[in-house]
């Protein structure tokens, strides 16, 4: 059986000459950069290659460090500088990671004059010539050249329905929970049912006095502006007649 030779990676040792070149490393930081703090430590990068770390006192760069890598040739005591760089430390103040614009958007971010392009491969949409699963829409959308270029896909309808139902216009909104249980939108005269499959669960509020006026609401949403909420008039009894008889003239 052949012997198996295992080669272990040898950790580099700190070169003494390079480790002692603190002043050379400090001098490599340009005067324009400045703000060099105390010497922090030395790390061996390889044979006769070490990196010196200095604290950075630049305003706004809390926790950052200057890193200066130095080296020397074999059998030479002359230390030279390889590179200098400003690096973040463990507790450095860093800017948030970059996020693509389409992942930074939140509901309601679109403002007046803004343009929001829709990706060609948006899963929420499907070509208008394909059946999207909504009978009332499919009657028109399937005809080439007559329908819209794209319509909501089943996934797009499902995501919209779940978002509306879980939001401020669903049954668990604070205004809905505070309303009488009989004051549901489905029985309100101001409830305008949506067309298509979304109309099974949602409609639009048409009560000018309601906070949801002009918005999509679920049929089990509710508020105090229900058309059939009636307040019984309270009959206030007339006050009793009070006679002041503290001073009465007695007559025989």
- Res 146 pLDDT > 60: no
Q: Where are the beta strands (DSSP E) in the chain?
A: 36-46, 49-56, 64-72, 79-88, 125-127, 150-152, 191-193, 202-205, 216-218
- The answer as to whether 56 is a domain residue is yes
- Res 223 pLDDT > 80: yes
Supply the pTM of this predicted model: 0.49
What residue has token string 């074999």? Answer: 74
> What are residue 55's DSSP bridge partners?
65
**Tens digits of residue pLDDT in 195-206:** 888 889 999 999
What residue has token string 């918005």? Answer: 215
- Res 145 pLDDT > 50: no
Number of domains in the chain: 1
Q: pLDDT at position 35, please?
A: 77
Residue 80: domain span = 16-88
- The answer as to whether 142 is a domain residue is no
Beta carbons of 224 and 162 less than 8 angstroms apart: no
Q: Where are the beta strands (DSSP E) in 100-233?
A: 125-127, 150-152, 191-193, 202-205, 216-218
Q: Helix %, strand %, coil % for the chain, to 5?
A: 20, 25, 60
Length in residues, the chain: 252
The per-residue pLDDT of the chain, averaged, comes to 81
């Amino acid at each position: 059986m052949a012997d198996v030779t295992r080669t272990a990676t040898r950790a580099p040792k700190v070169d003494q000459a390079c480790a002692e070149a603190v002043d050379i490393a400090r001098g490599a930081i340009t005067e324009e950069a400045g703000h060099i703090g105390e010497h922090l430590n030395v790390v061996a990068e390889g044979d006769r290659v070490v990196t010196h770390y200095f604290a950075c006192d630049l305003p706004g760069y809390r926790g950052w460090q200057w890193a200066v890598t130095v080296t020397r040739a074999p059998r030479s005591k002359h230390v030279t500088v390889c590179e200098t760089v400003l690096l973040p430390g463990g507790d450095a103040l860093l800017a948030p990671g970059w996020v693509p614009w389409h992942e930074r958007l939140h509901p309601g971010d679109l403002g007046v004059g803004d343009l929001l392009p829709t990706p060609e491969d948006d899963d929420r949409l499907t070509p208008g010539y394909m059946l999207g699963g909504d009978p009332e829409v499919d009657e028109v959308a399937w005809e080439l050249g007559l329908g819209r270029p794209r319509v909501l896909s089943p996934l797009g309808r499902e995501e919209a329905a779940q978002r509306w139902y879980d939001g401020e216009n669903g049954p668990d909104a604070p205004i809905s929970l505070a309303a009488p249980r009989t004051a549901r939108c489905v029985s309100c005269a101001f409830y305008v049912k949506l067309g298509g499959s979304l109309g099974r669960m949602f409609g639009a509020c048409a009560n000018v006095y309601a906070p949801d006026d002009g918005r999509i609401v679920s049929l089990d949403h509710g508020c105090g502006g229900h058309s059939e909420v009636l307040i019984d008039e309270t009959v206030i009894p007339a006050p009793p007649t009070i006679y002041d008889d503290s001073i009465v003239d007695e007559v025989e």
